[in-house]
């Protein structure tokens, strides 16, 4: 009995340990960044950052904020763990307020939540910006003249879609018969990025073949069930929605590819790491060459896909897109910092409403190009350097307006970065 009691004590300690480890995985904050020393007598600010997930990108972002930006601009950063709902965002904002934060940069952007979060930040006298666009869900915030709202920042989605369109225009030989599977991903749920990419891919096919779909392009990408894009030219186009996390999605893609009608796989979602094994196996089994074009992000999956050679000796992944985290982060930082330093005007459109700053993604088509880009945006080779950050800060750049800021961001394209970093 005594032995059993001791065992219970050991178990209690063990359980506490397990729960502690578990709890640490779910805690709300993972501590602040490097406060840095006084930089030229600038006032010290503290900014809370709401992360939606922890991955290569968020780690990279934290490095840039903590090690590069914090000491230079005398700003301290406080990061959340993964916030995947409104409640966790609100809890983090309250914690950030308690910790003395002056502003919030939110990477978990849901239009319907924006007003509530802006109002919560206003209660604590904090500036707010988020990584999202202007849509029906948050229209009231943009029109509502909230003093603490600095506007939003996001990817220029039509430009991202155009990257795919341009690549297809340049490489597709329309004199040879081709069939296309267009992975529309979550476009049917309103995902802006996947909507634009899907729409542009379908638009490119219309343009290149001079065809007319029997349904509208919108009807094709908003379908939640697989649908044939029947058209007047008889080109085989199959719109395949969903994501690999759904049971049977990969098998469905596999079945569609096996029909033998399609040889181009165009994916709007970030699914490269999931589909390449299936593609490779089918190439071997069917002795058919598939061309894969898809949205991607810097990471192991993209590197593996781009560096792999298929059954026919071709590059397994023909084209993908990437973005530079530090450019996106600069946009969010500049919005909050400008408001904190009393230059909110630089965050407003000419009509007085908060602006949405846009950045453009880049296309990557070869392992060499990926290798080159992959070496950028790291310690010592930040794409967004102090000159770039300063050019978006109103206290460093006189007469800065929203339009000028947008112009500056657009100028930071692949060629400009390459010229500077190489």
Partner 1 sequence: MMKSNNSKDMVSRIAKAVAVPVMVWAIMQVIDMVFAGMGVINNSADIKTLFRNLISSLAFALAIGANLNCGRMDLSLGAQMYAGVIFGGNMALMLNVGGIGVLILSMAVGALCGLVTGFIFINLRILPMVLGLGMTLVFECICFAINNQQGVILYGKPGVEILSNITFIIVVTAAIVLFAYYFFQLSGYGFKYRAIQGSQKLASDAGINIYSNCVICYVIAGTLAACAGVFITIYQGNLTPVLGMSSNGRVFSNMFPMVLGTWIGGLCHNREGGILMGAVTVNIIILGLTKLGLSNSVQNVIIYALFLTFVVYNTNRSKIEYYKARKARVAQARKMMAQRAA
Count of residues that bind partner 1 according to CB under 8 A: 58
Q: Position of tokens 């904050």?
A: 29
Whose Cβ is closer to partner 1: residue 58's or residue 160's?
Answer: 58
Handedness of CA 168, 186, 298, 50 (dihedral sign): positive
Q: Position of tokens 């390449």?
A: 276
Whose Cβ is closer to partner 1: residue 108's or residue 146's?
Answer: 108
Which of 29, 91, 215, 278 binds partner 1 (CB under 8 A)? It is: 278
59 is a contact residue toward partner 1 (CB under 8 A): yes
- Name the burial class of residue 142, with classes exposed (0-12), middle (13-18) and buried (19+) by CB atoms within 10 angstroms of its CB: buried
300 is a contact residue toward partner 1 (CB under 8 A): yes
Whose Cβ is closer to partner 1: residue 98's or residue 300's?
Answer: 300
Site for partner 1 in 116-135 (CB under 8 A): none
Per-residue tokens: 339: 């408001």
Which of 226, 348, 363, 385 binds partner 1 (CB under 8 A)? It is: 226
List all residues 6 or more positions away from 263 whose beta carbon is below 8 Å from its beta carbon.
178, 179, 288, 289, 290, 291
CB of 316 to partner 1, least distance (A): 9
Print the binding letters for residues 16-55 with partner 1: x by CB under 8 A, - otherwise. Answer: --xx-xxxxxx--------------------------xxx
Whose Cβ is closer to partner 1: residue 267's or residue 393's?
Answer: 267
Whose Cβ is closer to partner 1: residue 143's or residue 285's?
Answer: 285
CB of 91 to partner 1, least distance (A): 15
With contacts defined by CB under 8 A, name the span among 295-303, 332-340, 391-399, 411-419 that binds partner 1: 295-303
Whose Cβ is closer to partner 1: residue 329's or residue 338's?
Answer: 329
Of 364, 354, 339, 350, give the one whose Cα is nearest residue 414.
364
**How far apart are alpha carbons 133 and 147 in whole angstroms?**
18
Site for partner 1 in 78-97 (CB under 8 A): 82, 84
CB of 291 to partner 1, least distance (A): 18
369 is a contact residue toward partner 1 (CB under 8 A): no
What is the rounded radius of gyration, in angstroms, for the C-alpha atoms of the chain? Answer: 24
Largest CA distance in the chain: 85
Handedness of CA 215, 217, 221, 222 (dihedral sign): negative
**How far apart are alpha carbons 341 and 339 in whole angstroms?**
5
230 is a contact residue toward partner 1 (CB under 8 A): no
Whose Cβ is closer to partner 1: residue 302's or residue 339's?
Answer: 302
**How far apart are alpha carbons 259 and 257 in whole angstroms?**
5
Residues 358/156, Cβ–Cβ less than 8 Å? yes
Of 267, 276, 327, 284, give the one whose Cα is nearest residue 303.
276
370 is a contact residue toward partner 1 (CB under 8 A): no
246 is a contact residue toward partner 1 (CB under 8 A): yes
DSSP state of 42: P
Give the residues lining the site for partner 1 (CB under 8 A): 7-8, 11, 15, 18-19, 21-26, 53-56, 58-59, 82, 84, 224-226, 241-242, 244-252, 254-256, 258-259, 273-278, 281-282, 284-286, 299-301, 303-305, 307-308
């Amino acid at each position: 009995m005594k032995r059993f009691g001791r065992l219970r004590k050991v178990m209690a300690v063990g359980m506490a340990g397990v729960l502690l480890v578990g709890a640490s995985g779910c805690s709300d904050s993972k501590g602040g960044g490097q406060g840095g020393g006084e930089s030229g007598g600038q006032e010290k600010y503290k900014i809370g950052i709401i992360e939606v997930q922890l991955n290569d990108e968020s780690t990279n972002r934290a490095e840039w904020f903590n090690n590069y930006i914090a000491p230079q601009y005398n700003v301290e950063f406080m990061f959340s763990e993964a916030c995947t709902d409104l409640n966790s965002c609100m809890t983090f904002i309250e914690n950030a307020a308690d910790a003395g934060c002056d502003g919030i940069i939110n990477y978990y952007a849901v239009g319907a939540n924006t007003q509530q979060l802006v109002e919560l930040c206003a209660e604590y006298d904090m500036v707010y910006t988020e990584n999202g666009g202007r849509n029906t869900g948050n229209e009231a915030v943009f029109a509502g003249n909230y003093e603490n709202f600095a506007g939003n920042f996001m990817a220029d989605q039509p430009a991202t879609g155009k990257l795919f369109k341009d690549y297809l225009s340049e490489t597709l030989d329309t004199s040879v018969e081709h069939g296309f599977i267009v992975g529309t991903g979550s476009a049917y749920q309103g995902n802006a990025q996947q909507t634009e990419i899907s729409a542009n891919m379908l638009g490119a096919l219309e343009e290149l073949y001079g065809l007319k779909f029997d349904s509208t392009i919108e009807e094709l990408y908003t379908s939640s069930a697989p649908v044939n894009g029947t058209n007047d030219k008889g080109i085989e186009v199959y719109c395949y929605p969903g994501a690999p996390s759904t049971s049977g999605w990969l098998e469905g893609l596999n079945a569609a590819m096996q029909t033998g009608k399609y040889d181009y796989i165009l994916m709007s979602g970030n699914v490269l790491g999931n589909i390449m094994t299936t593609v490779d196996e089918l190439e071997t089994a069917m002795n058919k060459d598939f061309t894969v074009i898809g949205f991607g992000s810097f990471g192991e999956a993209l590197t593996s896909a781009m560096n792999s050679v298929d059954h026919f000796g071709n590059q397994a992944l023909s084209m993908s897109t990437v973005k530079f985290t530090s450019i996106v982060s600069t946009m969010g930082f500049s919005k909050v910092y400008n408001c904190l330093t009393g230059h909110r005007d630089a965050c407003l459109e000419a009509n007085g409403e908060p602006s949405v700053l846009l950045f453009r993604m880049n296309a990557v088509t070869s392992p060499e190009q990926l290798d080159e880009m992959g070496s950028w945006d790291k310690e010592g080779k930040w794409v967004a350097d102090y000159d770039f950050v300063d050019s978006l800060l109103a206290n460093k750049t006189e007469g800065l307006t929203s339009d000028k800021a947008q112009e500056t961001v657009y100028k930071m394209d692949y060629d400009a970065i390459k010229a500077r970093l190489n």
